[in-house]
Structure 1
Amino acid sequence: MYLRLSQEQKERIIRDIKDYFFEEHAEEIGELAAGNFLDFMVKEIGPYLYNEGIHDARDMLEQKLMNLDEDVQSLEKPVHHNRD
């Protein structure tokens, strides 16, 4: 899995990473270090997050299909058997 980020998204995330390291660890890191950290996170953690998103989407679709099935079943007309 390869996560595609626009250049604007990468730049924003790199700024956020740099801010995080400064605010949480009082450590200034450069663009290269923040970019490398982003690449590592995307490569190592990205698949876990992606898979969770897929599972969430599957659960939502299953629920919607169940609701749709119930709606369709509610349209069925009762069948009366005439007995002579």
Structure 2
Amino acid sequence: MAIELDRAQRDQAIQSLTRYVEQELDQRLGNIAAGALLGFFLEEIAPLVYNQAVAAVQERLSQRVAEVDVEVHEDEFQYWRRREAKAGGRR
């Protein structure tokens, strides 16, 4: 699955890359070079991050599904117990 950015996100990412290179590496990076670098990151590295995020979500969902029976469990045959408890409180 290719990871794509919309135009506004791409522009913002390019601005961030050029700023980072200028401030942290003391180098000048033009918009075309920054765009190419961003494209490389999206194609080469972004799938790794994406796959890790998917794995984390799968683990979290598995844990939640395992807890569903506890969260939504209802005890059976409670009518008479509840009725007796109400009657006991009225005495």
TM-score interval, normalised by the smaller of the two chains: 0.7 to 0.9
Equivalent residue runs for 1:29-68 within 5 Å: 29-68=29-68
The answer to whether residue 31 in structure 2 is matched with residue 6 in structure 1 is no
Secondary structure in 2 matching 1:39: helix
C-alpha distance in 1 between matches for 2:19 and 2:53:
27
> What does residue 22 of structure 1 align with?
22
Structure 2: runs of 5 or more not aligned: 78-91
Q: Structure 2-normalised TM-score?
A: 0.78
Q: State the percentage of identical aligned residues.
A: 27
Number of aligned residue pairs = 77
Q: Structure 1-normalised TM-score?
A: 0.84
C-alpha distance in 1 between matches for 2:44 and 2:69:
39
> What does residue 75 of structure 1 align with?
74
Tell me by how many angstroms 1:77 deviates.
2.3
Tell me by how many angstroms 1:21 deviates.
0.2
Check the 8 A contact 2:4/2:42 in 1, yes or no: no
Secondary structure in 2 matching 1:4: coil
> What does residue 83 of structure 2 align with?
none
